[in-house]
Chain A
Amino acid sequence: MLGEGILKGMAETAKNFVGSFFSAERLTTVQYPEQRIAPYEAARVFPFLVYDSRNSADPADWEAGMRCVACQICEKECPPKCIYIDKSKDKKPDAIGKQQFYPSRFDIDISVCMSCQICVEVCPFEAIKMDTAYELSTTDRFGGLLLDRRQLAKSNEYYHRIHPTEAAEVDDRLSEGRAKTDAKVTPAPVKGTEAPATAKTQPKLAADNAVEDAAITAAAASKAAETATGAGN
């Protein structure tokens, strides 16, 4: 019969159409933005800089905790050259207390970035990772799409939320690396002078901690005083 093939085809589409009222598999549309598909763990959109919340009084102090040491390897390896880094003139201590440079300017132009993830692969300090946020529209075409380091800095907790397995592996690698450096830094005890060596290292750390603790309590006290006076007034 002429038209038999067409009718067979239409039977297929009818099956799918009627079936979409009954089975979820045939209704494949997701009503964005009311429904959103959660991104997969490995998904990557644009890079962000990881910072560790080191200061327990102000965990959002991203400047102190940023892992980036401005080695500029990501800037060199980036294919479209969308990363702009200025190295600082001074140094600040990093997670293990070593003095490192930091980036005084770290801009990523996300209108140029092609999400290739090469910056993440080459970073030796686990400082730059891929974010999954994609709702980044802005009304300013040039400045709004040039993210500076304040906008790029996100905490390690955030990293754990978006990429849990990867973040756990990174934390393991970093603590392994720090354990190795600690083993190297602490000198092997020499016979006869064993006790003084360890005694010297320990009190220093305690004194530092005491100084930090004092600073924290002082800050907290002054804040409490402020709010008290503010509430009083």
Chain B
Amino acid sequence: MKKVEEIKAAIEAAVPGAAVEIVSNPSVSGQHSLRLAPESAVAVASFLRDDPELALDFLSNVTGIDWPDKVTAERVKVKRQVVKTVDGVEQTVEETVEETRQRLDPGCLEAVYHLYSVAKKHGPVILRMRTQDRADHVDLPSLTPVWRSAEFQEREIFDLYGIAFTGHPDLRRLLMWPEFKDHPMRKDYREPDDFEYEPTAHDEVLKRAEEHRAGTAVHADAECGQ
């Protein structure tokens, strides 16, 4: 089985313009992955499936991952106009000052594909694709036309994470009911206050349910999933 670097080289040779990055995996498993750009993903996938040497004809697993926005505080050097007293005279001088700034790392949603080969009995080759952000630009190309096994799994990721797969033949919710709003597997999902119909003695769940029934719930759309 080729190593990740060789596969990357093969992809770049066969699909011109394909942007492929290696994402290394720090764990002992040694399963490194290739990040694909969404524009050329379907072409790369077709190449991987049809190439006689790689013959990755079996898509085993499609996973969705949520990387939420991260806010980190960092110290930055900025040039500022500062009023200082120089030789007894007040002047505005430009100086370099250190400031603490909040940096927002925008989050994204990711889809990971695990590929194996039934013909050559090797694998796994792992592909990743990231969306631009978590709110407006959440579409990725669907790999269902290349591997049919992505059909239900991409539907599940659409249901639970919200990634819209363009080119998917039947993009509907899989596990939740069709009128459900929101995407449950995201890290910022807040469950409804009254989701436990008969709450037993679970401290905060019981408290939330009682507040909800008394009408004192703080959360505006605290209805059960509607």
Within 8 A of B (CB), among A114-148: 141-142, 146
Using a CB–CB cutoff of 8 Å, the interface residues on chain B facing chain A are 198, 200-202
Q: Closest CB of chain A to B196's CB: distance in Å?
A: 11
Closest to A142 in B: B200
Is the beta-carbon distance between B201 and A107 smaller than 8 angstroms?
yes
Q: Closest CB of chain A to B191's CB: distance in Å?
A: 15
Provide the bound-state CA to CA distance between A146 and B202, in Å. Answer: 12
Closest to A141 in B: B198
List, sorted by A's number, 13 A–B pairs whose CB atoms are closer than 8 Å.
A81-B202, A84-B201, A107-B201, A109-B200, A109-B201, A111-B200, A112-B200, A141-B198, A142-B198, A142-B200, A142-B201, A146-B200, A146-B201
Q: Closest CB of chain B to A225's CB: distance in Å?
A: 45
- On chain B, the residues within 8 Å of A107 by CB distance are 201
- On chain B, the residues within 8 Å of A109 by CB distance are 200-201
Provide the bound-state CA to CA distance between A112 and B202, in Å. Answer: 10
- On chain A, the residues within 8 Å of B200 by CB distance are 109, 111-112, 142, 146
Closest to B203 in A: A84
List the 4 closest pairs (A to B, CB-CB), nearest first: A109-B200, A142-B200, A146-B201, A109-B201
- On chain B, the residues within 8 Å of A84 by CB distance are 201
- On chain A, the residues within 8 Å of B202 by CB distance are 81
Q: Closest CB of chain B to A218's CB: distance in Å?
A: 42
Closest to A80 in B: B202
Provide the bound-state CA to CA distance between A107 and B201, in Å. Answer: 10
Within 8 A of B (CB), among A80-126: 81, 84, 107, 109, 111-112
Provide the bound-state CA to CA distance between A107 and B200, in Å. Answer: 12
Q: Closest CB of chain B to A111's CB: distance in Å?
A: 7
- On chain B, the residues within 8 Å of A112 by CB distance are 200
Known: A109-B200, A146-B200. 11 other contacts (CB 8 A): A81-B202, A84-B201, A107-B201, A109-B201, A111-B200, A112-B200, A141-B198, A142-B198, A142-B200, A142-B201, A146-B201
Provide the bound-state CA to CA distance between A95 and B201, in Å. Answer: 32
- On chain B, the residues within 8 Å of A111 by CB distance are 200
Closest to A145 in B: B200
Q: Closest CB of chain B to A110's CB: distance in Å?
A: 11
Provide the bound-state CA to CA distance between A84 and B205, in Å. Answer: 14
Provide the bound-state CA to CA distance between A109 and B206, in Å. Answer: 14
Provide the bound-state CA to CA distance between A84 and B198, in Å. Answer: 18
- On chain B, the residues within 8 Å of A141 by CB distance are 198
Within 8 A of B (CB), among A59-89: 81, 84
Q: Closest CB of chain A to B209's CB: distance in Å?
A: 13
Provide the bound-state CA to CA distance between A107 and B202, in Å. Answer: 12
Provide the bound-state CA to CA distance between A136 and B138, in Å. Answer: 51
Provide the bound-state CA to CA distance between A109 and B200, in Å. Answer: 8
Q: Closest CB of chain B to A52's CB: distance in Å?
A: 29
Q: Closest CB of chain B to A62's CB: distance in Å?
A: 23
- On chain B, the residues within 8 Å of A142 by CB distance are 198, 200-201
Provide the bound-state CA to CA distance between A141 and B198, in Å. Answer: 10
Closest to A107 in B: B201
Closest to A146 in B: B201
Provide the bound-state CA to CA distance between A128 and B218, in Å. Answer: 40
Provide the bound-state CA to CA distance between A13 and B200, in Å. Answer: 49
- On chain A, the residues within 8 Å of B198 by CB distance are 141-142
Provide the bound-state CA to CA distance between A54 and B198, in Å. Answer: 42
Q: Closest CB of chain A to B198's CB: distance in Å?
A: 8
Provide the bound-state CA to CA distance between A174 and B176, in Å. Answer: 51
Provide the bound-state CA to CA distance between A146 and B200, in Å. Answer: 9
Provide the bound-state CA to CA distance between A84 and B200, in Å. Answer: 12
Q: Closest CB of chain B to A193's CB: distance in Å?
A: 56
Q: Closest CB of chain A to B118's CB: distance in Å?
A: 35
Provide the bound-state CA to CA distance between A109 and B201, in Å. Answer: 8
Within 8 A of B (CB), among A146-171: 146
Closest to A109 in B: B200
- On chain B, the residues within 8 Å of A81 by CB distance are 202
Provide the bound-state CA to CA distance between A81 and B200, in Å. Answer: 12
Q: Closest CB of chain A to B49's CB: distance in Å?
A: 40
- On chain A, the residues within 8 Å of B201 by CB distance are 84, 107, 109, 142, 146
Provide the bound-state CA to CA distance between A81 and B201, in Å. Answer: 11
Q: Closest CB of chain B to A85's CB: distance in Å?
A: 12
